Amino acid sequence: MQFVSSNFGCERVTASAGSYKLCFCTPRGAGASCQLAYDFSFDIGTMVVQGPLRNQARKCVFGYRCWAEDIQGVGLADGDLILVLDKCRMPQTSPAAGNMTIRGIAGLTPGAGVPAYGKDGSQYLLAETVLAIAGTYRMCWCRPSLSATGCGITDSFAADIGGITVVTPALSLLRRCVRGQTCAIIDLEGFGLADGDAVHVLHFCPDKPNYGIFQEDVPPTGVFIDGWPRKGLSLPAEIGGTSVSWGVEVVMAPVGRYPICWCMGSSPFRRCDQPQ
């Protein structure tokens, strides 16, 4: 039995993670040129490309903890790294000198990559508090055991998982509703707003909860406004997250000025049905 060694040159593998067929061709006999796809008709096995799948978009809210949960891929493992960059595989030919380390987006994985936790490598805590400017960035992946630099340079983070959008509503918004009439806001502003978001008109916007802990859904004392439809909770936002209403019930709350508290509907660990 003869063994054949083959390689694909020095270019990086850019295919999405998955299993692919290895198809063999020899120019000896049958006049095959090994230039066309149908020349490779002999199935010799499977090539497994490990890493994250592409196009896995995630959202985080400015000022809140940011998780990238349920990242899908092939052969993912605890210890894999994510670095948030403007573009994956940003050129850097050598590790930073002195005490400096590689840097991601300020306010969102600013250090040398965020490690996965859990055995399946699908969960990442990107930031305790997101302080990055609102926008869409790239989640870039690297595995230290397979990197010549141990994921020590940004160039090693070449696998693009997908976009991570920092969402924020416009602050200092001032809108008016009239006592005795229905209420709607049709021009909410911000970056990354989407259908399914919601706003809550309350006496005060509560402090954000700890990760996944909602204190058994006990609302803070004195948060609700008497006479506001639906206890202040809007119907799910529409028209790209820019329009909310409180239905057909009229506002009978005392006249005054109240905070408009916003919630991102698509967050996996933040629910918009309770003030907290």
pLDDT in tens, 69-120: 899 999 999 989 999 999 988 766 666 555 445 678 888 876 667 888 766 8
* H or E element at residue 61: strand 58-61
Which of 55-64, 91-100, 109-118, 208-217 shows the highest mean pLDDT?
55-64
Residue that the structure tokens 């994250």 belong to? 52
- What is the pTM assigned to this prediction? 0.80
pLDDT at 69: 87
- 28 or 137: whose pLDDT is higher? 137
Name the nearest CA neighbour of 262 among 134, 179, 132, 173.
173
State the chain's maximal CA–CA distance in angstroms: 91
Q: What is the pLDDT of residue 217?
A: 64
Percent of the chain with pLDDT over 70: 86
Calculate the average pLDDT of the chain. Answer: 85
Confidence of residue 262 (pLDDT cuts 50, 70, 90): very high
3-state secondary structure 165-218: EEEEECCCCCCCCCCCCCCEECCCCEECCCCCCEEEECCCCCCCCCCCCCHHHC
Tell me which DSSP letter residue 163 carries. E
Lookup result for tokens 């997250």: 241
Any residues with CB less than 8 A from the CB of 92 and at least 6 apart, and which?
102, 153, 154, 155
